[in-house]
Amino acid sequence: MGNTAYNQSQKKANNNLHIAYKKQKGFHLKQRIRTFFQTADAWGVFVLGSTFVLMLGSAYLVYILQGDFEQFNLERMSSTLGLYFMVFAGALFLFRVGFFLYTVYRYFKYKAIASVSDEELPTCTVIVPAYNEGKQVYHTLISLAKNDYPEEKLQLLAVDDGSQDDTWHWIQEAKRELGDCLAIYKQPKNQGKRHALYRGFNEGTGEVFVTVDSDSIVKRDTLRNLVSPFVTNPECGAVAGNIRVLNNEKALLPKMLDVSFVLSFEFVRSAESSLNSVLCTPGALAAYRSSAVFACLPDWINQTFMGKPSDIGEDRAMTNMILKQGHHVLFQRNAYCYTNVPEKYRGLYKMFIRWGRSNVRENIEMSKYVFKNFRKGPKAGTRFLFLSQFLRIVMSYPLLLFMLFFILSHPLLFISSTLASILVVTTFPVLFYAKRYQLSESFWAYSYSILYTFGLFWITPYAIATANRRGWLTRGLPQKK
């Protein structure tokens, strides 16, 4: 009898605690949302508010226009061409869903490698190419020098690629402060990031090369975490760092890109890493085994596309060549780097064009070896990753034509269905970011999806059509404020 009363008392106490926990959790959620609106600027609140009004309004439109959607589908299925299109679109949709589920499965297989001991860490050369970066390059070099890495094993190199501003002055300031641990070089003229890195590779003496963009800041444990996979995995040829946005407090685009970067790195590259096949080690932070670099360095520096020297996509090209050698390419989620991104639309689309052209070029190169016996062990996952990327490129023009046809023939159906789809599909990156970081910031994923769908849809088709063009596009003098 006494035990029964005690158990009931305990059960009641546990229920009360559970209720109190839920209330407390709800309070914190409300507090975070309230804090967001209190600290957000008026323009940001307007953009987010408009985003939700558009998506929820579109979802309601889809509901009341169900008859029109059914009629549209019936019209498509009544013709042979329309039927073929519906079947193909259905197959494409199933492939995308299957690939997403496969990516989720591989994501849960991923685990970052913990740092090895100081004794096990390899000698490391960090190369920082800089062009028109101003004082930011100084902060980059200082953050690298302050890293928790054995001083006797670390070599810092800064290469000024013929800057037209005061970048060289700030590199010299860093040299005066850091002394012998930093070696500095100045290119006689601007030749491009690839040539600046090339000089760093030839001047460096480390067993591992690390490349860091001159507009980036790294955490104190970044370098040791980044290079540890080379110790634990003899087959590792390259490692990608975890890139976050540095200037996400200044403008709306960086806030949106920060959410996008988290999905791109912590979800997509985690999945790729579980297959030993990260397709691109980012220029902002990447590490390479020196022997793997020197094995492809002549081909890399002399790379051409359609008869013209390649002066973009040096990170993707190096990754591709190292994968081709049979090495593993991994991702380290615990190696953080914070980098500046464009704050205006013009800078954003130029960056995406450069990435798009590099993607086209390197997918063509990857197609030459990915279906061969390019390395030991399983290769099906790598081929699946390639097919997904290749399909995205191949389908860009058909999808663009269908979109234009849909807009012209049924504009209301197009807008409502597209925005409603964004509400559904983008909920995953929102939840992913909220789980990893902050719920209040995660909602920018919705705004970014709308911007990308309606304002950047032309990037891939344009990049394909202009894949042979040279030029960095975003390497001019920074705007004075």
Average pLDDT over residues 130-153: 96
Q: What CATH number is associated with residue 255?
A: 3.90.550.10
The rounded distance, in Å, linking the Cα atoms of 259 and 472 is: 25
Chain Cα centroid distance, residue 59: 29
Evaluate whether residue 440 is within a structural domain: no
Write out pLDDT tens, residues 305-327. Answer: 999 999 899 999 999 999 999 99
Percent of the chain topping pLDDT 90: 81
User: Residue 217: helix, strand or coil by DSSP?
Assistant: strand
| Phi, then psi, of 161 in degrees rounded to 5 | -90, 55
Is pLDDT at 6 greater than 50 in this prediction? no
Sign for the CA dihedral angle at 178, 180, 186, 191 comes to: negative
Q: How many structural domains are present in the chain? A: 1
pLDDT value at residue 481 = 36
Average pLDDT over residues 161-186: 95
Average pLDDT over residues 61-70: 92
The rounded distance, in Å, linking the Cα atoms of 255 and 443 is: 10
pLDDT value at residue 21 = 44
Angle between helices 66-77 and 80-109 (to 10 degrees): 110
Among residues 239, 259, 234, 235, the alpha carbon closest in space to that of 248 is found at 259
Say if strands 285-289 and 208-212 run parallel, antiparallel, or are unpaired: antiparallel
Percent of the chain topping pLDDT 70: 90
Please work out, in degrees rounded to the nearest 5, the angle formed at the alpha carbon of residue 49 by the alpha carbons of 48 and 54.
Answer: 100
Average pLDDT over residues 449-459: 96
Average pLDDT over residues 96-116: 97
Is pLDDT at 356 greater than 50 in this prediction? yes
pLDDT value at residue 30 = 62
Average pLDDT over residues 433-438: 94
Evaluate whether residue 264 is within a structural domain: yes
pLDDT tier, 76 (very low <50, low <70, confident <90, very high otherwise): confident
| Phi, then psi, of 129 in degrees rounded to 5 | -80, 140
**Which residue has better confidence, 245 or 42?**
245
pLDDT tier, 480 (very low <50, low <70, confident <90, very high otherwise): very low
Q: Which residues make Cβ contacts (< 8 Å) with residue 5, sequence separation at least 6?
A: none
Is pLDDT at 13 greater than 60 in this prediction? no
Evaluate whether residue 177 is within a structural domain: yes
The rounded distance, in Å, linking the Cα atoms of 171 and 130 is: 9
Which class for 362: exposed (0-12), middle (13-18), buried (19 or more C-beta within 10 A)? buried
Average pLDDT over residues 124-128: 98
Is pLDDT at 5 greater than 70 in this prediction? no
Is pLDDT at 16 greater than 90 in this prediction? no
| Phi, then psi, of 236 in degrees rounded to 5 | -70, 125
Please work out, in degrees rounded to the nearest 5, the angle formed at the alpha carbon of residue 21 by the alpha carbons of 15 and 23.
Answer: 105
**Which residue has better confidence, 304 or 249?**
304
Among residues 282, 283, 323, the alpha carbon closest in space to that of 192 is found at 283
Evaluate whether residue 375 is within a structural domain: yes
| Phi, then psi, of 186 in degrees rounded to 5 | -125, 120
DSSP one-letter code for 277: B
Write out pLDDT tens, residues 144-164. Answer: 999 999 999 999 999 999 999
- Model confidence, pTM: 0.88
By residue range, what is the domain housing residue 160? 118-391
Distance spanning both ends of the chain, measured CA to CA = 78
Average pLDDT over residues 4-30: 52
The rounded distance, in Å, linking the Cα atoms of 450 and 452 is: 5
Evaluate whether residue 436 is within a structural domain: no
